[in-house]
Amino acid sequence: MTERVYGVTPPISTALPTEAEKRMHQALHEELRAQGTFESRAETEARKKVIAQLEKITTAFVKKATAETQNSFMVREAIGRVFTYGSYRLGVYGPGSDIDTLVVAPKHVTTEQYFRLFPPLLVEMAPPGAITDLTPVPDAFVPIIKFEFSGISIDLIFCSIKGLTQIPEDKSWNLTDNTLLRGLSENEVRSLNGTRVTDEILNLVPEPATFKLALRAIKLWAQRKAIYANIMGFPGGVAWAMLVARVCQLYPKTTSAVVVNKFFHIMLKWPWPLPVLLKDIEYNISVTRAPVWNPKLYSSDRNHRMPIITPAYPAMCATHNINRSSKVVIMQELEKGVQVTEEIMTGRAPWKALFTKHTFFTSDFRYYLTVISSSRTKDAQNVWSGFIESRVRVLVNKIENHAAIVLARPFNKGYDRQHRCQNYEQLGDVVNSGSLAYLYKPTPEEEEKAKGEAKTEVKAELINANLKPESVLQDGPVVKPEPGTETAAPPPVTAADGAAIKPEPGAESAMPPPAPPPVADGVKKEEVTKNGDGVEQKDGNDGEVKLADIPEKKQELEVFTTNYYIGLQLGKTPASLDLSREVQEWMSMCRSSDLYKEGVNFLAVTHIKNTMLPDDVFEPGEVRPRPPKKKLKRQAPDDSSAQQPTKKSKPVGPALTPAAS
What pLDDT digit, counting tens, does each position of 594-628 carry?
Answer: 889 999 999 999 999 999 999 999 999 899 998 88
- Residue 335 neighbours by CB distance under 10 Å: 12
Residue 151: left if φ>0, alpha if ψ -120 to 50, beta else—which one? left
Residues 509 and 599: their CA atoms lie apart, in Å, by: 8
Residues 250 and 269: their CA atoms lie apart, in Å, by: 14
Cβ atoms 479, 594 nearer than 8 A: yes
Mean pLDDT of the chain: 83
Bridge partners (DSSP) listed for residue 66:
none
Q: Which fold has domain 19-333?
A: Poly(a)-polymerase, middle domain (1.10.1410)
What pLDDT digit, counting tens, does each position of 61-106 carry?
Answer: 999 999 999 999 999 999 999 999 999 999 999 998 999 999 999 9
What pLDDT digit, counting tens, does each position of 178-234 carry?
Answer: 999 999 998 899 999 999 999 999 999 999 999 999 999 999 999 999 999 999 999
- Residue 619 neighbours by CB distance under 10 Å: 9
* CATH number, domain 366-512+556-617: 3.30.70.590
**CA 156 vs CA 98, 352, 398, 632: distances in Å:** 10, 35, 34, 63
pLDDT for 166 equals: 94
DSSP letter (8 states) at residue 362:
I
Q: What residues in the chain have per-residue pLDDT under 70?
A: 1, 445-554, 573-575, 631-661
Per-residue burial over 105-140, b = 16 or more CB atoms within 10 Å of its CB, e = otherwise: bbebbbeebbbebbbebbbeebeeebbbbbbbbeeb
**CA 237 vs CA 230, 330, 414, 465: distances in Å:** 8, 15, 18, 12
Residues 652 and 630: their CA atoms lie apart, in Å, by: 12
In the chain, where does the domain assigned CATH 1.10.1410.10 lie? 19-333
In the chain, where does the domain assigned CATH 3.30.70.590 lie? 366-512+556-617
Cβ atoms 152, 46 nearer than 8 A: yes
N-terminal to C-terminal alpha carbon distance within the chain: 76
- pTM score: 0.80
Write out the catalytic residue numbers: 87, 98, 100, 155, 219, 228
DSSP letter (8 states) at residue 360:
I
pLDDT for 576 equals: 75
Instruction: Concatenate the DSSP letters of all residues of 448-468 into one string.
Output: HHHHHS------HHHHHHT-S
What three-state secondary structure class fits 630? coil
Cβ atoms 529, 539 nearer than 8 A: yes
Strand spans (E) along 162-204: none
Residues 265 and 262: their CA atoms lie apart, in Å, by: 5
